[in-house]
Structures are given as C-alpha cells and as structure tokens.
Amino acid sequence: MAAGIQTFRFDEARGRDVGTTRGRGVDGGTSPDLKVVLYPIDTGISEINLRFGYDEVGDGFYTPRHRHNFDQFRYLVSGEMNLAKGVDLHEGECAYFPEGAHYGPLDQKGPASLLVLQFPGPNGAYRIQDSEKRAAMAALKSSGYFEDGVYKKRKPDGDVMNQDSYEAVWEQHMGRPISYASPRYRSPIVMRPQALRWIADPQRPGVEIRHMGSFTEFQTAVALWRIAPGTTIPSEMLAAPELRCVLSGDTVYCGKELDRNGCYYIPENISTHPLHSRDGAELLVFTLPMYAKATWEKMRDPATEAVAAA
C-alpha cells in the first residue's frame, strides 16, 4: 500500500524511555536510558522501517566502539554529543554514520538533545525496531547477559563467548548471522553548516538552502532550509521522498500548524498542498532517493544485487 503525505506535531509523536544494548555495566544498568520521542512515519514499504525521533541523552551515557548495519544521521539541537575520544558533535552540527563504519567509544559528559534518523542503507539490511529489540534481549538473557556493550553467552563448558550486543540482538530476532556492507566511507562525517553559505532555491522563491551533503551512489542528502516570513511554497511533486523537521519558526500545511519539532514525511510522485510560513522558519530536510519505490524495488532485485556484489 502506497504511503501518503504525513504530518506530525511534536505532541502527536510517541515518547518513551529506551534502554540501550550497549550501556555500561550489567544490562546497561549504570548508563542512563535514552528519552525518545518517535514520529510514527510509514514509508509504504514494509522493509523500510525508518526511525526518526527527538532523543535526549543523559550524562554518563556510554557505548563501546561499534558499527551498524544501517545508515544514521544525528543533528545536535542542544548541548554536545560525544562520538569518540576527542570527537564531539556541537550544537547545530550534523553527523552522518555510514553503515559498516566503526565509531566510538562514546562516553557522554553532560546532557544533549538531538534529532536522529536511522534507516536501512544501500545494503538494504533490516533495521530492527525497539519492540523487536526488547523481545530479543529478553530471550538472550536466558543463556547469557549484557555487560559494557557486549553480550556474554554462557557455554556448556563454563566459558563465556563474547559478541557485540547489537549483533547478538539482531541475530536473535532475524534467525541468521548479521552481515555488514563494505563501508563506503571510513568513518562518520561531521558537517558544520555554519561554515556553509545560504543559497537561494531557484524552484522555491522565498526559500534559501544550506546543502550539508549528499552520500552514497543514491545521493541521500541533508540540508537546512530557511523560509522567509510570508512565504508560501506552492504545490509540488517530489522525485524522491523527503523528511522535513521544523527547527524554529512556524509552518502551516492544510490548516495544520507545525512549529518547532513538527515533522513532514512526503513520498515521491504525490502532489503536495501549499506550505505557508507567517513569521519564517528553519527546517532540517533529508532527501531519500533510495526510498522511491521504483528505486528500492530495483535495488532489491536479485539480479541487481548480484551485479552490485561483483
């Protein structure tokens, strides 16, 4: 079933505490949980269960050096976020974490708030959901335990086998060994938008864009938009899905006010209604060409996968 245009005010998103598989101590007991507000976005493609949320990270949050089998963006709303020893993400900066690339250890000092987008990358690996993660962790605890980001499985001879905690959880849920794409980039990429110019958007009068970067052969992109007061963006049809989040100011869509942390998900090939801003606004915008249905289906075709792997 094709997805339609979705809009969410911040109070329409779902908030909860999320435990980590990689926290310090047994079962992550000495690391604070993440406080997460998730936007219930439906891409219309069952394999693409992207996760977009507003995360609050507490002082003392910890993960060891690790990697993911999915792609990730983090945009720092407030505070500083540690990414590795001597590497911090500062307020207003954005980082891209490519699938398969190692980073960390992360040892958080002080609180931080950030917008986080996690999604299947070009390798197309399934990104397990929080509910699936909790169930898999519960099952794994019958034969082992989690400590300092490592799953420690008790063997019949009394020895302990160590495995990255997320890998163990993923394999428990999926019933098969995890695999990683060959990293397209050696490490996470930190973008400093304050060093970039605002460029007028020729297609949208009244809008200026700070393009922060495009990544992989599919041109997954992230940018900031600055909408001038009184601007109306006319109806348009996108070639690729976009996720837009209001960082500041106001927007109105179909009579619905979407101000700070309001979110839009707009699939490709659907005519939008006009978007208006009375007093001006700044938006964080992700463009996801890989998630255009025709592109995704071609990418997941076995013949295409065989060519890509050659």
Q: Per-residue pLDDT for 307 more than 50?
A: no
pLDDT band at 294 (very low <50, low <70, confident <90, very high): confident
φ/ψ of 12, rounded to 5, equals -95, -10
Q: What is the pLDDT of residue 256?
A: 97
Span 100-124, mean pLDDT? Answer: 94
pLDDT in tens, 259-270: 999 999 999 999
Q: What is the pLDDT of residue 17?
A: 55
Span 139-149, mean pLDDT? Answer: 91
Q: What is the pLDDT of residue 31?
A: 64
Span 131-145, mean pLDDT? Answer: 92
Q: What is the pLDDT of residue 305?
A: 44
- The alpha carbon of 109 is separated from its chain's Cα centroid by a whole number of angstroms, namely 22
Span 10-15, mean pLDDT? Answer: 88
pLDDT in tens, 26-35: 555 556 778 8
- What pTM, to 2 d.p., does this model score? 0.90
Q: Per-residue pLDDT for 196 more than 80?
A: yes
Interacting residues of 153 by C-beta distance below 8 A, sequence separation 6+:
140, 143, 144, 160, 161, 162, 163, 168
Q: Per-residue pLDDT for 302 more than 80?
A: no
N-to-C CA span, the chain: 33
| Rounded Cα gap, residues 37 and 62, in angstroms | 20
Mean pLDDT lowest among 22-36, 37-51, 183-197: 22-36
Mean pLDDT lowest among 9-18, 129-138, 175-184, 237-246: 9-18
Mean pLDDT lowest among 86-95, 130-139, 278-287, 298-307: 298-307
pLDDT in tens, 145-173: 998 889 999 888 888 999 999 999 999 99
- The alpha carbon of 240 is separated from its chain's Cα centroid by a whole number of angstroms, namely 17
Q: What is the pLDDT of residue 8?
A: 97
Its CATH architecture, for the domain 193-293, is: Sandwich (2.60)
Q: How many residues does the chain have?
A: 310
Identify the sign of the CA torsion 244, 246, 252, 257. Answer: positive
Domain spans of the chain? Answer: 130-174, 193-293
pLDDT in tens, 225-244: 999 999 999 999 999 999 99
What average pLDDT does the chain have? 90
pLDDT band at 258 (very low <50, low <70, confident <90, very high): very high
pLDDT band at 280 (very low <50, low <70, confident <90, very high): very high
| Rounded Cα gap, residues 48 and 124, in angstroms | 9
Strands 51-57 and 94-97, how do they pair?
unpaired
- In Å, the largest CA–CA distance within the chain is 71
Q: Per-residue pLDDT for 6 more than 80?
A: yes
Distance set, CA 269 to CA 2, 36, 59, 234 (Å): 11, 31, 43, 15
Mean pLDDT lowest among 10-19, 110-119, 131-140, 201-210: 10-19
Alpha helices of the chain — where are they, by DSSP H? 130-140, 165-174, 293-300, 302-309
